[in-house]
């Protein structure tokens, strides 16, 4: 099976986020960039599928120059090919613009039998691109998958919902968005790292795909970040010492929760 | 008939609270901006629920009632919602950012050619357009965004907006049969054992982290949770250790929650955990390390051994509850 993994290259989850005054973008100076954590589950599932059934794994990203590093990391973990659509500065945060670019790239380098994405890109925190790509390609999707079985031309996916799990059956091709719990991603092996260096990453400009990035970021834009700010700092709470008289501290906490916070 | 259209989620014919919150918020916004508020309800055998939505502010409710829609499917629901959008030409489509809402919103937005503002915590109307604020970078920043001059889909974070009940009866309009081809089909729904309350839906959450020392001590966390009618949450450390199921995990790679009370026991407060719970209305931390970062976001805290603090806390709360 030929699978395609959509990979978002995002700020490390432990990054300190700074917003320069009157800007709608973060200060990227000290940011370390990583493969979005959920995309690691997506990639791992594609690699396992290849190991079990044969085929190949292509990783696709739309992003600036630095996203190449993310592609290299995916190759080192076991992907066979990588596609980089360069750009994305102007369309940042606009999930539909990103999905339009990804769908166009897929039409160019596809077809694929199955697509994997993360349930959510860490940073944008949108949870949108997977479903949007599926709609643009007119194929079904299943989001938040924690278990996946692939049969002949169809798949069975377990997706987490509040208080339970839905068992969804869908024909391939289909977009599957990965949730934590789907698998345990592997680390790149030395052999993988060496082999990945020999792979040529296929690169495109957005214009090569028949799209106009300027228009996607302006007239055709569907989401615009007007402002970005840091959340208001929390003023210090009431901290009680409970090492000498834990029961007393517990009593005081219960009282505060009832009388002051009216929470219990 | 420009206005706000609200997609109402139901499960087994019961209207979901998070949807009623979204509808109430739409009503609040619309009253100020002179917009209409309509709703769309999808399912099978759910017609009687439609008029009830008037109490939450819906003027008209579009109902798609078909056997094929008895269970959720992205494609069936997307077709129904699109039909309601075409009938009401709204400036925004609201839905709750539940598992279903997050599955449906991207599909519907792409079908309409609209953007989507996901998991928002604040909404306004400015010059007839919806502008919303949402946490990004795992809650380390807040982005205020709009649909760039087009209508927009907005998903509202559950438990953030109050559901206000009033008077009123909605007009009901049946949608013509909409369900076309449904390719991805729900075959079965497996309920979680014990019917435990899900953290994503709970108004109070009691969470345990590595400080609880072992899986057996979740019993203590559960006791406190039960007393408060709360769901049981967990840090990733204990989920990865296999002490509790992933469905309980709160944080960046777990669930994002906004309960009115979040009690963290033996959780250090790593940035990835805070990403999932820092928008809780009231945060209580119990941790033996005074330097633990959880205290930076806590409204109330106890520095101490949770095994010595939680049992008397349970007793005290029992006493207070008995007083009323
Ligand atoms: C990409 C990525 C995603 C992640 N996603 C998540 C996520 O979704 N959710 C999440 O929670 N984490 C997540 N993490 C992990 C996160 O970084 C932390 O490792 C994790 O939250 C720590 O869990 P903990 O607080 O239970 O454990 P620890 O950090 O080990 O903290 C245990 C705490 O218990 C206290 N303690 C010990 N004994 C007692 C006692 N007797 N009484 C009171 N207090 C006591 C200690 O002082 C300490 O503060 C993620 C990490 C990465 C890299
Ligand atoms: N620029 C991108 N390039 C490739 N894949 C992406 C990109 N942005 C998002 N995705 C994919 O879509 C998923 C969800 O992202 P989001 O909708 O931003 O939360 C991610 O986990 C990726 O799999």
Please count the residues of chain B: 324
Residues from chain B that touch A165, judged by Cβ atoms under 8 A, are 189-190, 192
Q: Do A13 and B185 touch (CB under 8 A)?
A: no
Taking chain A (264 residues) in runs of 10, the rounded mean pLDDT of each run is 97 91 87 96 98 97 97 96 95 95 97 98 95 98 97 94 94 97 93 93 97 96 94 87 95 96 89
SS3 A146: strand
pLDDT at residue number B178:
84
How many angstroms away from the CA of B3 is the closest CA of chain A? 19
Identify the bridge partners of residue B5 per DSSP, sorted by sequence position: B38, B93
pLDDT at residue number B194:
66
Of B294 and A152, the structure prediction assigns the larger pLDDT to: B294
Average pLDDT estimate for B106-130: 96
Using CB atoms, pick whichever of B72, B183, B304 lies closest to residue A171.
Answer: B183
Is A147 in CB contact (< 8 Å) with chain B?
Answer: no
Dump strand ranges (E) for B66-183.
92-96, 115-120, 122-126, 129-136, 141-146, 152-156, 171-174
Using CB atoms, pick whichever of B148, B185, B295 lies closest to residue A223.
Answer: B148
> And the tokens for B311?
């049992």
In chain A the domains, ranked by start, together with CATH numbers, are 2-217 (3.40.50.620), 236-264 (no CATH)
Q: Is the dihedral of CA A215, A218, A220, A225 positive or negative?
A: positive
Which of B95, B99, B294, B305 has the most A C-beta neighbours within 10 Å, making it the best mutation to test the interface with A? Answer: B99
Q: Do B150 and A222 touch (CB under 8 A)?
A: yes
Mean pLDDT taken over chain B: 94
The residues near B175 (Cβ < 8 Å, ≥ 6 apart) are: B40, B62, B63, B64, B80, B83, B84, B87
CA of A187 to the centre of ligand 2 (A): 21
Residues from chain B that touch A156, judged by Cβ atoms under 8 A, are 187
pLDDT at residue number B324:
66
Residues 82-111 of A with CB under 8 A from B: 93-96, 99
H or E element that contains B101: helix B99-112
Whether the pLDDT of residue B1 is over 60: the answer is: no
pLDDT at residue number B197:
86
Atom of ligand 2 lying closest to residue A98 CA: 1
Residue A222: closest C-alpha in chain B: B115
Q: Is B193 exposed, middle or buried (0-12, 13-18, 19+ CB in 10 A)?
A: exposed
Identify the bridge partners of residue A55 per DSSP, sorted by sequence position: none
SS3 B21: helix
Is residue A223 within 6 Å of ligand 2 at its C-beta?
no
pLDDT at residue number B19:
97
Q: Do B228 and A264 touch (CB under 8 A)?
A: yes
CA of A99 to the centre of ligand 2 (A): 8
């Amino acid at each position: 099976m030929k699978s395609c993994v959509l990979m978002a290259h995002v700020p490390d989850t432990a990054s300190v986020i700074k917003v320069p005054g009157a800007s709608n973008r973060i200060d990227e100076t000290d940011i370390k960039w990583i493969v979005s954590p959920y995309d690691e589950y997506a990639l791992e599932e594609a690699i396992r599928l290849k190991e079990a059934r044969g085929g190949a794994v292509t990783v696709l990203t739309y992003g600036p120059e630095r996203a190449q590093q993310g592609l290299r990391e995916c190759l080192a973990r076991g992907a066979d090919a990588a596609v980089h659509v360069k750009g994305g500065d102007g369309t940042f945060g606009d999930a539909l613009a990103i999905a339009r670019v990804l769908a166009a790239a897929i039409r160019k380098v596809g077809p694929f039998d199955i697509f994997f994405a993360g349930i959510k890109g860490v940073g944008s925190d949108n949870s949108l691109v997977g479903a949007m790509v599926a709609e643009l390609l007119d194929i079904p999707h299943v989001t938040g998958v924690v278990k996946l079985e692939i049969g002949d031309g169809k798949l069975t996916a377990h997706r987490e919902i509040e208080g339970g799990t839905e068992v969804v059956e869908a024909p391939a091709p289909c977009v599957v968005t990965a949730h934590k719990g789907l698998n345990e991603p592997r680390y790149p092996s030395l052999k993988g790292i060496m082999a990945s260096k020999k792979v040529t990453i296929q690169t495109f400009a957005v214009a090569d795909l028949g799209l106009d990035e300027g228009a996607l970021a302006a007239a055709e834009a569907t989401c615009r970040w007007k402002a970005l700010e840091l959340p208001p700092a929390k003023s210090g709470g009431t901290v009680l010492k409970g090492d000498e008289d834990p029961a007393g501290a517990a009593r005081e906490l219960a009282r505060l929760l009832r009388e002051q916070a009216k929470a219990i | 008939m420009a206005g706000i259209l609200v997609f109402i989620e139901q499960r087994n014919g019961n209207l979901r609270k998070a949807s009623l919150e979204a509808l109430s918020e739409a009503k609040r916004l619309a009253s100020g901006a002179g917009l209409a508020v309509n709703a769309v309800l999808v399912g099978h055998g759910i017609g009687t629920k439609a008029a009830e939505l008037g109490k939450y502010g819906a003027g008209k409710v579009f109902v798609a009632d078909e056997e094929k829609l008895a269970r959720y499917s992205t494609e069936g629901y997307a077709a129904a919602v699109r039909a309601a959008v075409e009938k009401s030409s709204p400036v925004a489509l609201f839905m709750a950012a539940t598992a279903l809402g997050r599955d449906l919103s991207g599909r519907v937005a792409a079908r309409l050619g609209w953007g989507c503002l996901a998991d928002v915590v604040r909404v306004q109307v400015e010059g007839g357009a919806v502008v919303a604020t949402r946490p990004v970078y795992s809650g380390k920043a807040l982005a205020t965004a709009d649909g760039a001059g087009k209508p927009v889909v907005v998903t509202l974070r559950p438990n953030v907006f109050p559901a206000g009940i009033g008077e009123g009866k909605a007009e009901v309009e049946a949608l013509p049969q909409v369900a076309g081809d449904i390719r991805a089909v729900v075959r079965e729904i497996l309920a979680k054992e014990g019917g435990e309350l899900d953290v994503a839906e709970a108004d109070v959450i009691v969470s345990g982290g590595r400080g609880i020392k072992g899986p057996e001590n979740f019993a203590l966390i559960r006791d406190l949770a039960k007393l408060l009618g709360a769901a049981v949450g967990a840090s990733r450390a204990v989920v990865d250790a296999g002490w509790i199921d992933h469905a309980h995990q709160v944080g960046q790679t777990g669930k994002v929650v906004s309960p009115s009370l979040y009690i963290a026991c033996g959780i250090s407060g790593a940035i990835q955990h805070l990403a999932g719970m820092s928008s809780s209305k009231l945060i209580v931390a119990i941790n033996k390390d005074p330097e633990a970062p959880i205290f930076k976001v806590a409204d109330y805290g106890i520095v101490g051994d949770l095994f010595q603090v939680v049992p008397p806390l349970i007793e005290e709360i029992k006493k207070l509850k008995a007083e009323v």
